[in-house]
Structure 1
Amino acid sequence: MIISAISNLHILLGTVGLLAGAAALFSAKGAKLHRKAGNVFFVSMLIVSAIGSYIAYIKSDIPFSTALFTCLLGVFTFYLVATSWITVKRRAGERGLAEIAGLLFILATAIFSLTIGVDAAMSDTASKNGAPPMPIEVFYFFAGLAVFLALGDIWLIVRGGISGSQRIARHLWRMCMALFISVGILFMGNPQVFPMVLQKAAILSIPVLAMPVLIILVLMVYWLIKLLFTKSRKKSKQVADEVISLG
């Protein structure tokens, strides 16, 4: 009964979070809708990622390595959303204990992911109920991704904070990656929840369910290029701290 209630809450908040994330992604950056939708996405995704990791951990009907994989997706989503939100809540050129805590958190995740990969390589216990385990390389990838994210945190901490377009870019790509993971879990990880016509299209290698995931990546790249490598960069530097602090 409790697990069912938690699962229903997970689905409800996940739906709210994805809608809010889409609204924030497609709305004008810094506008009221963007800020409000971003706040809803932040709160809902923190809860959803925590619940999702917990559900995956306690479920007994899936391969153990698959459960760990799902837990790690939740962990990365939680971290990305939290650090992205912290970035815009800090004043320009400021950092504090939250950034250090984020660094320690993602370094622990890197060690955990690497440990899982090494342990799986040395044993066959990653398989459960006769189902095949997740590829070992997946956990090595997670470890590498965690190290990459940690380097970004170290860079921010050593500099004493960031400002201008770099600040917006850090916020933007981390939020987009959290949305990318969440949408990927829904559309590509759970195709059974969609109409049969979309499932059949996926079976026929028509990437219908993959389109929302690809759209997020394309939009993320578009905004980052516009922000960092075009004439709008200078304007972004001038208004970034004023606009983004209104959230």
Structure 2
Amino acid sequence: MPEPILIKEFHFLAGCISLVGLVIAFAAQKGSKLHIMGGKSFVVTMLILTSSGLWMSISREVLFTVFLSLTSFHALLTGWSAAAKNGIARAVTKYSAGSSALITGGGIWGGQYTANTPNGLLNGLPAGAFYFIAGIAALLMLFDLIYANTRSPSKVMRITRHLWRMGFSSFLATSIFFFGNNHVLPEALRTPLVLSAPVIGVIVLTAFYTMRVLFFSFSTPYKHETD
């Protein structure tokens, strides 16, 4: 599959905007116009980021990042659907376990394929790397099944799912970019501190706001969820 000339530039730009949108969505009052604006910009740019990342992974024949991109895309959509109230969101929730099951199966297949290569490596990675991503997808599938079969999820349950899945999606995408595709950055910025800071920042923000809602939900009122 050919790689469009400008796809790396769009990928980089989408990644930068998505990080800004994530910070705004986390920091703004939940349910406010600023929160919704930041959240929508995050979702749109993350869709571009994960789609372009998937395209580049396929065109470069890097199977591991194919599965990472698919996992990030899955976490993004299921996180969005937990806060949205429309038919598409309900359909995403209903079929989410099927999606994560496919990624799980793909990861297992990737591990078996890699184990059978002459040197036991694929793109420099051992079979265990693929089994690891399969395990993550299996855990997502378990949570998908629980959530989809909960008759009336509480607000705390929905918002917690919304927050950690959005953050997890961003964590995967930023990890792929800053640790695997950072060649588009100026050489002066390709230092361990600069490359790890956005990834660590996403982890800290996601953990803080998820725990805040999970254990101190009275201090984080939501006026309404997104449509």
1:84 to 67, 79, 99: 79
State the aligned residue count. Answer: 224
**TM value normalised by structure 1:** 0.80
Asked if 1:218 corresponds to 2:204, the answer is: yes
Give the aligned partner of residue 245 of structure 1: 225
What's the offset of the Cα at 1:127?
5.6
Tell me by how many angstroms 1:125 deviates: 7.6
Corresponding residue for residue 67 of structure 2: 72
Amino acid at match of 2:100: I
Bigger-Rg structure (1/2)? 1
Partner of 2:4: 3
Q: Which one of 139, 156, 164 corresponds to residue 155 of structure 2?
A: 164
Query: What value does the CA root-mean-square deviation take over the aligned residues?
Result: 2.5
Identity %: 28
Runs of 5+ unmatched residues, structure 1: none
Task: Please tell me the residue identity of whatever aligns with 2:17.
Answer: V
SS at match of 1:188: helix
Q: Structure 1, residues 89-114: CA drift from partner, whole Å, max 9, x if none?
A: 138xxx84321222111101100101
- 2:102 pairs, out of 108, 130, 135, with 108
CA gap 1:233/1:2 in 2 versus in 1, 3 angstroms: closer
| Residue type at the aligned position of 2:224 | I
8 Å CA contact 1:27–1:33 kept in 2: the answer is: yes
Distance 1:48 1:179 in 2: 10
Report the counterpart of residue 174 of structure 1 in structure 2.
165
Matched residue SS, 1:4? coil
Per-residue deviation, 1:122 = 1.9
| Cα offset, 1:233, TM superposition | 2.4
Q: Is structure 2 residue 132 aligned with structure 1 residue 141?
A: yes
Residue 117 of structure 1 deviates from its aligned partner by: 0.3
- The unaligned stretches of length 5 or more in structure 2 are none
Name the residue aligned to 2:48. Answer: 47
CA distance in 2, matches of 1:217, 1:223: 10
Question: Please, what TM-score do these two structures have when normalized by structure 2?
Answer: 0.86
Quote the residue 1:154 is aligned against.
145
TM-fit CA distance, 1:197? 3.8
For 1:219, what is the secondary structure of its paired residue?
helix
Query: Following the alignment from structure 1 to structure 2, what is the Cα–Cα distance between the partners of residues 233 and 151?
Result: 24
